[in-house]
Amino acid sequence: MSKSQKKSAHTPMMQQYLRIKSEHPDSILFYRMGDFYEVFFADAQKAAKLIDITLTARGKSGGNPIPMAGVPYHSVDGYLAKLVKLGESVAIAEQIGDPATSKGPVERKVVRIITPGTLTEESLLSQQQDHLLAAVNFGKDQIGLAWLDLGSGRFAVTEVRTESELLAELERLQIAELLVADHESTPTDLLQQESLTMRPDWHFEESAATRLLLRQFNTKDLKGFGIDHMPAAIGAAGCLMQYVLDTQKQAVPHIHSIHIEQQDECLTIDAITRRNLELELNLRGGSEHTLAAVMDHCATNMGSRQLRRWLQRPLSDHKILQQRHLAVAEIITRSLTDKIQVALKPIADIERIVARIALRSARPRDLSNLQLTLQALPGLLGCIQSCSTNLLTNLSDKLPQLPGLATHLQVAIIESPPLLIRDGGVIATGFDQELDELRHLSKNADQFLLDLEEREKSRTGYSTLKVGYNRVHGYYIEVSKLQASDGVPVEWVRRQTLKNQERYITPELKEFEDKVLSARERALAREKLLYEQLLDGLQAHIPAIQNIATGVSELDVLNTFAQRAQSLNYVQPELVSYPCIEIRAGRHPVVETNDNVTFVANDLDMSDKQRMQVITGPNMGGKSTFMRQTALIVLLAHIGAFVPADSAKLGPLDR
């Protein structure tokens, strides 16, 4: 589509398309037309090539056919997934006007821009990994990095001093989309990142970013979050927040706080070491034979994602780690692993469900799954109610029971609702009297039609006469052409002629049709209104549901640590205050799970007196395996897990 194309040379509908497209030049525009999303001009050519859809034409521009392609609205998620995976962004233009009252083209507007870092749909996301949007801001003395999982509302920042530290953080976080300032000083290494999106410099300006964050968090200052002294991080967070608002085209109430990840709170792992340790991805890019694959036996997707966060960021604080170790030990001692695992099974991915509730994109089954989760919470709490360790006691406080909300959802939503609200049949009978009355009118239509059919058969003597309905022509009385040629009652008005039949309408049937179709339309409209009201009511519960999600995920990980310790013969590490790494009969946690390998355990003794050891041996003799084994044992201990050894004593570490 060139600049020379004149809008006046197009139909009103195409003029509307060109206007909307001009506002979103960097996105593929999906333009809703009935049951399809259509794309035109260069977007159509691009989409046809990228997602393998048919390229055709519609009308002409400057004497040339206008390229056009389209996808059905009911299967759009699959096509969006392909485009986003290829790094494209897609602007979704929906019909917001009423076709019945529109004199020209139905009013449309972009309701959302889907980008690689702003996905929230269940079908577009990895269930076991966070999907992060990040922004980098190069400040005077520090580099600010902010990241957000829009699918959960988790928002965090940090500041680093060097580009190498920044690249290590990006390697750790595995960003889906990175926002950087559109200026020449952006480092080359950063420009080589995948899914890079350039943003205007002023989006990173500290004062504007501060005002935006204060509005989002509804607070007077940022001191409560501890970031008021971090100008580079504030600029990155403000740019990211602005981008989210620009793409979502609505408020995002599930983002109501921000967390600092201080660099001195965790063990430093540079990008090369992270890759070589094969924490989540092996050296071939797959997920098998990794530490995550060995450790992840979580019952919930929330737990799997929490486990990966802990793996990505091993802590240095011995107090926090010892609390985790004690919790794991108590779960083992009280034989709770199986009980907790069973209690976790009914728990849905409410971390992502609550985000869709906040964004008003939650589907009926999301609300049904939320209700089932709330009903399952008392059973989960019962598993740890008698526990005495501080961490498990505190987790109980993160699992607030919401019996009133659970009951409300149970009364409102049918047990197994359809996928989408637009089809109706979601709101339970008895929840709303007006809806029940409209549905009753629609359901009684069948009996009326049967009575009418029998009456007309008796009156005309046509035994094959039938009364039917189709979406195009509505209700009708159908007889054969032969019967029609013999004569029909004078009040019958021909509605449709087929090859072998004639179809008629009567004043009585027309009156019934108007009444029933109106009732069905009103019932569907009423149901949609009630569903929107349900979403409205859930907004106040967002923080509580997020706390439940956090508590469930942490308990799931601790229980998984306990289960893995029992199944794989791991031991509780001892964390001490003096420098040492003393490991007896240590084993590589990944290599030892290979059924084809007999693993020989190894000792290691390093202290303030013995700070260096030399490893010798032939090629493929296990030298690098021993070094990786030591690193992984240390890492497991510093995420709160037990370790593969007969014993392990570890002093303070920073890398």
| The Cα angle at residue 368 between residues 365 and 371, in degrees rounded to 5 | 150
pLDDT given for residue 610 in this prediction: 76
Task: Assess contact for 108 and 96: CB atoms under 8 A.
Answer: yes
Task: Assess contact for 116 and 129: CB atoms under 8 A.
Answer: no
Q: What's the rounded Cα separation, in Å, for the pair 1 and 265?
A: 52
Which residue bears the tokens 């109106």? 518
**Max intra-chain CA distance, the chain:** 113
Q: What's the rounded Cα separation, in Å, for the pair 359 and 361?
A: 5
Q: What's the rounded Cα separation, in Å, for the pair 546 and 351?
A: 6
DSSP for residue 266: B
pLDDT given for residue 62 in this prediction: 67
Q: What's the rounded Cα separation, in Å, for the pair 428 and 420?
A: 15
C-alpha torsion angle, residues 419, 422, 428, 429 (rounded to 10): -140
Task: Assess contact for 53 and 47: CB atoms under 8 A.
Answer: yes
pLDDT given for residue 174 in this prediction: 92
Q: What's the rounded Cα separation, in Å, for the pair 219 and 313?
A: 29
pLDDT given for residue 7 in this prediction: 52
Query: Per CATH, the architecture of 569-650 is what?
Result: 3-Layer(aba) Sandwich (3.40)
Task: Assess contact for 317 and 375: CB atoms under 8 A.
Answer: no
- 70 strand-pairing partners: 38
Q: What is the full DSSP assignment across 566-604?
A: HHHT-B--EE-SSSEEEEEEE--TTGGG-TT--PPPEEE
pLDDT given for residue 619 in this prediction: 75
Residues (pLDDT < 70) of the chain are: 1-9, 62, 100, 184, 621
- 94 strand-pairing partners: 109
Amino acid letter for position 332: I
Torsion-angle region of 115 (φ positive above 0: left; ψ -120 to 50: alpha; else: beta):
beta
Q: What's the rounded Cα separation, in Å, for the pair 152 and 127?
A: 12
Residues in CB range of 150: below 8 A, 6 or more apart: 117, 118, 119, 120, 131, 133, 244, 248, 252, 255, 355
- Output b/e per residue, 16-35; b: 16+ Cβ within 10 A: bbbebbeeeeebbbbbbbee
Q: How far is CA 254 from CA 148, 285, 477, in A?
A: 12, 33, 54
- HSE-CB of 540 using CA atoms within 13 angstroms: 6
Domain ranges of the chain: 7-114, 125-265, 296-567, 569-650
Q: What's the rounded Cα separation, in Å, for the pair 507 and 489?
A: 12
pLDDT given for residue 473 in this prediction: 86
- 219 strand-pairing partners: none
C-beta atoms surrounding 276 within 10 Å: 14
C-alpha torsion angle, residues 440, 442, 448, 449 (rounded to 10): -150
> Which among 350, 366, 402, 401 is positioned nearest to 153, based on CA atoms?
350
Q: In what order do the strands lie in the sheet with 574-575?
A: 574-575, 647-650, 580-586, 602-607
Domain covering 125-265 assigned CATH 3.30.420.110 in the classification = yes
Q: What's the rounded Cα separation, in Å, for the pair 259 and 655?
A: 22
Determine how β-strand 493-497 pairs with β-strand 647-650.
unpaired
Q: Which CATH number fits domain 296-567: 1.10.357.10, 1.10.1420.10, 2.60.40.10, 1.10.730.10?
A: 1.10.1420.10
Residues in CB range of 550: below 8 A, 6 or more apart: 351, 398
Task: Assess contact for 29 and 93: CB atoms under 8 A.
Answer: yes
In the CATH hierarchy, which top-level class contains the domain 7-114?
Answer: alpha beta
Question: How long is the chain?
Answer: 655
pLDDT given for residue 64 in this prediction: 82
CA 25 to mean position of chain CA atoms: 26
CA 78 to mean position of chain CA atoms: 14
| The Cα angle at residue 195 between residues 191 and 199, in degrees rounded to 5 | 70
Task: Assess contact for 583 and 603: CB atoms under 8 A.
Answer: yes
Torsion-angle region of 201 (φ positive above 0: left; ψ -120 to 50: alpha; else: beta):
alpha
Task: Assess contact for 170 and 195: CB atoms under 8 A.
Answer: no
- 583 strand-pairing partners: 604, 648
| The Cα angle at residue 260 between residues 256 and 261, in degrees rounded to 5 | 135
Q: What's the rounded Cα separation, in Å, for the pair 340 and 331?
A: 9
Q: What's the rounded Cα separation, in Å, for the pair 566 and 559?
A: 11
- First and final CA of the chain: distance in angstroms? 54
| The Cα angle at residue 127 between residues 126 and 128, in degrees rounded to 5 | 95
Q: In what order do the strands lie in the sheet with 36-40?
A: 56-61, 64-72, 36-40, 28-33, 90-95, 108-114
pLDDT given for residue 170 in this prediction: 92
C-alpha torsion angle, residues 100, 102, 104, 106 (rounded to 10): -90
